[in-house]
Copies of this chain bind each other. A is one copy, B any other.
Amino acid sequence: MTLGFGLIGTGFMGKTHALAMGSVKAVMGDVPDVRLALLCDTPMAQAEARAAQFGFARATSDWRALVTDPEVDIVSITTPNGLHREMALAALAAGKHVWCEKPMALTLQDAREMAEAAERAGTVTLTGYNYIHNPAFLHAQRLIEGGRIGRPVHFRGWVDEDYQADPDLPWTWRATLADAGLGALGDLGCHLVSFAVGLMGPIESLIADTQVIHETRPLPDGSGLAAVENEDTATALLRFASGAQGSLSASRSAWGRKNRLDFEVHGTKGMIAFAQERMNELQLYVNEGPRSEQGFRTILTAPDHPPFGAFVPAPGHQLGFRDLKVLEARVLLQAIAGGAAPYPAFRDALVFEEVIHGIAQSAREERRVRFA
């Protein structure tokens, strides 16, 4: 089986998708062949340049042509979030498999529509929660499932960057509800929710607070100040369906944090902690053996933590960010080839988006928000 790959968007994530699809078979072996069939960007000159660099057979500046192109089996959507819905619906309507970056959409309503369309289409969908494919994260899940830290009773998570920390940064569309939707929650918070749910199971309810730190920003043309409409930080108190509790906090204005995405899971027999900026390490504490020798151990990911070994057969030789995208691409391809259901498909990612919108709602309405 050879699958034709069509890519819409060639920025940060678009390039990452292209690189992943271009190497996943070579790295992992256990997936169908992929043909880089068609790349879409605007203007056409840029599309052609990117297609040449990334190794695509053809280029287009018309995404509608791409989603219906007969040589395209998989459509990657890596455009600004406000465009996801329309593109995904069109691709699904054309019977394509869809790989869509997170968050799915600006509004929960749009995301729901996408999930419903995916169910109707019956094709394979996957959303871009790459961090949960990290062998370190998978190992944390295995440890918890295996009872290594007992019953998981408490969760804490943080996701922080500093790209909106500077008070002098000019105003952009990113500050608007209409064009950007949520702030830190949409950009960052949803990744943390994917961790929380992946480690602790469904969230039953939450109470939250959000904060706009920089209430206005200077307009780029120097004509004055414009309002920042979406949150710089968000923090939520979580109750999980399991009875466990926890919290999560997100900030896009946290100086010094470049890609913080950290968690700790407290269990009745031990604790697991992880920090994305050291993504090849896992911290484990277990209450066993002499107390004088107990301590958090720093586990370096290795071939002992599959599927690490597909990249490097030696421990301590790190994986990087684009390796996570290769693992994500593999999930998609294996699902298309008839393997396990992809996770998180649109219906799964909808749960994450319900949570981030629930956090915003709880803060806005000052009340507990419950999930079905």
Within residues 313 to 372 of chain A, which ones have a CB less than 8 A from any CB in chain B?
313-323, 366, 368
A209 neighbours in B (Cβ, 8 Å): 207, 237, 239, 245
A286 neighbours in B (Cβ, 8 Å): 255
Contact with B along A291-322 (1 / 0, CB 8 A): 11111111110101100000111111111111
Indicate if A213 sits at the interface (CB-CB under 8 A). yes
Within residues 173 to 200 of chain A, which ones have a CB less than 8 A from any CB in chain B?
none
Distance of A138 from chain B, by nearest CB (Å): 11
CB of B268 within 8 A of CB of A300, answer: no
| A257, A269, A304 pick with most chain B CB within 10 angstroms | A257
Indicate if A247 sits at the interface (CB-CB under 8 A). yes
Within residues 124 to 165 of chain A, which ones have a CB less than 8 A from any CB in chain B?
139, 143, 148-150, 153-154, 156, 158, 161-162, 165
Distance of A134 from chain B, by nearest CB (Å): 11
Distance of A109 from chain B, by nearest CB (Å): 27
Complex Cα–Cα for A316 and B162 (A) = 11
Contact with B along A230-255 (1 / 0, CB 8 A): 00010101010000011101010111
Indicate if A86 sits at the interface (CB-CB under 8 A). no
Q: How many residues on the A side are at the interface (Cβ–Cβ under 8 A)?
A: 97
Indicate if A223 sits at the interface (CB-CB under 8 A). no
Indicate if A116 sits at the interface (CB-CB under 8 A). no
Report which of B29, B304, B322 forms a contact with A291, defined as CB distance below 8 A: B304
If over half of A's interface residues share one DSSP class (helix, strand or loop), that class is named, otherwise mixed; here it is: mixed
The segment from A20-28, A61-69, A72-80, A89-97 found at the interface with B is A20-28
CB of A321 within 8 A of CB of B319, answer: yes
CB of A315 within 8 A of CB of B258, answer: yes
Which of chain B's residues has its CB closest to A319's CB?
B320
Distance of A9 from chain B, by nearest CB (Å): 13
A366 neighbours in B (Cβ, 8 Å): 368
Complex Cα–Cα for A318 and B295 (A) = 15
A29 neighbours in B (Cβ, 8 Å): 53
Which of chain B's residues has its CB closest to A270's CB?
B255
Which of chain B's residues has its CB closest to A213's CB?
B153
Say whether, besides A317-B321, A319-B320, A297 and B296 are in contact (CB < 8 Å).
Answer: yes
CB of B247 within 8 A of CB of A247, answer: yes
A302 neighbours in B (Cβ, 8 Å): 258, 291-292
Report which of B278, B292, B296, B312 forms a contact with A12, defined as CB distance below 8 A: B312
A55 neighbours in B (Cβ, 8 Å): 25-26
CB of B245 within 8 A of CB of A247, answer: no
Which of chain B's residues has its CB closest to A245's CB?
B211
Distance of A45 from chain B, by nearest CB (Å): 15
